[in-house]
Amino acid sequence: MVDLALAAETRMTSLYHIENLKFTVPGRTLLDDVQLSIPAGKVTGLIGHNGSGKSTLLKLLARQVAPTAGTIAFHDQPLADWNARKLARRLAYLPQHLPPAEGLTIKELAALGRYPWHGPLGRPGTQDKEAITAALNACGLSDMADQRVETLSGGEAQRAWLAMLIAQEADCLLLDEPISALDIVHQVEVLSLVHKLSQDSGRSIIVVLHDLNMAARFCDHIVALRGGAVAMQGTPQDLMNPSQLQSIYGADMEVLSRADGTPIAHPN
């Protein structure tokens, strides 16, 4: 299980430290001179307009692609130097476009998260079963464990995939637009779960979001990108003011307060 004492200690440290990061594809620069320090033990939201580089940055953090230039350190060690098995035990990545899971039950999907711990030939042991059970409980899926993934609603399916990541027992989760295909009720459900996972276990979670109001409501730290560069990084309160939003999105916005004091922005 996630070591809560270790998690409390790492809250004061950097999860990722990024310097002079650049990523290019033929004829185009997607990220340029990115400088970031992402805190541990918090939910960090990556926001920005379409094409700003959010998903590209997340793929670089997940080591799905390699940077063109610059450095990324994960837990104070160069990301490129991490052993693949050790990295998979610390870092879990959920892409925007999920692979098919036809024929798998929720419990079987969650069990796939145990791969870094016993490999392709190892037999699941007591610790694996306990981790799977804990993951299903955390995601509210225990009573549905034997239901097939393809029969689930969008919100239930996202919780099933999150259960797989939790069963992996990684202390860092990277989520690429996990609510993009969900209705508003399921968006709130999934992001409430994400925030609770971080609060309850000290996990670090980095999530790509399009909806800045959802980011302000559910994230502890915000990184905003514009044109492949960092436009701001700070708290939701730092984000939610008209001049800051204008600099990020190039749009005139008004910021109001919900009944609970949470800020909400909308275009004028």
pLDDT in tens, 164-198: 999 999 999 999 999 988 899 999 999 999 999 99
pLDDT at 122 over 80: no
Sequence-separated contacts (24+) of 198-201 with Cβ below 8 Å: 198/41, 198/42, 198/43, 200/138, 201/1, 201/2, 201/4, 201/7
pLDDT at 99: 84
The CA-atom distances, in angstroms, between 45 and each of 110, 135, 185, 257 are 25, 23, 19, 20
Query: Per residue in 40-74, pLDDT tens?
Result: 999 999 999 999 999 999 999 999 999 999 999 99
Q: What residues are paired with 47 via a beta bridge?
A: 224
Residue 10 confidence (pLDDT) above 50: no
The span from the CA of 138 to the CA of 156, in Å, is 13
141-169 pLDDT, tens digit each: 999 999 999 999 888 999 999 999 999 99
- The single residue listed with the structure tokens 């609770």 is 196
CATH 3.90.950.20 applies to domain 4-267: no
Predicted local distance difference test score (pLDDT) of residue 102: 84
Spatial separation of the C-alpha atoms in residues 27 and 24, rounded to whole Å: 8
> What is the percentage of the chain residues whose pLDDT exceeds 70?
94
Query: 172 forms bridges with which residues in the sheet?
Result: 91, 204
Spatial neighbors of 12 by CB under 8 A, at least 6 apart, are: 40
Per-residue pLDDT at 14 exceeds 90:
no
Amino acid code (one letter) for 101:
A
pLDDT of 3 > 50? The answer is no
Least confident of 8-22, 70-84, 101-115, 253-267: 8-22
Structure tokens belonging to residue 141: 């899926």
Q: pLDDT digits over 200-229, tens only?
A: 989 999 999 999 999 999 999 999 999 999
What sign results for the dihedral spanned by CA atoms 193, 194, 199, 201? positive
Domain residue extents for the chain: 4-267
